[in-house]
Amino acid sequence: MDKNNYYANFSSAAGSNPTVNDSEKLLNEIYVDLFLNRLQRIYRIEQLKDFIDQALDERNEEAFYKYAKELNELQESLN
């Protein structure tokens, strides 16, 4: 689910006179989606750190900069 549409989807579900159960289901879906997305980013950060270590060991400057750039972008997205 696109994070930009969370509020719109929840607002429309809550505003269309749904049962409490429907609103709770949608809210739970949103939280699960956010949680899984965060886990994926955290896993990718750890993976990138390993790739950076390997690039340093191999003195591969191009790979180092590539992975470091992606790592910085992911870390900024978590804040």
**What average pLDDT does the segment 42-69 reach?**
97
Model pLDDT, residue 11: 59
Is pLDDT above 60 for 14? Answer: no
Name the region of 17 (left: φ>0; alpha: ψ -120 to 50; beta: rest). Answer: left
pLDDT digits (tens, 9 = 90+) for 19-54: 678 889 999 999 999 999 999 999 999 999 999 999
Higher per-residue pLDDT: 67 or 15: 67
**Taking the domains of the chain in order of start, what are their residue ranges?**
3-78
**What is the pLDDT confidence band of residue 4, given thresholds at 50, 70 and 90?**
low
- Indicate the length of the chain as a whole number: 79
Identify the burial level of 30 via C-beta atoms within 10 angstroms of its C-beta, where 0-12 means exposed, 13-18 middle and 19 or more buried: middle
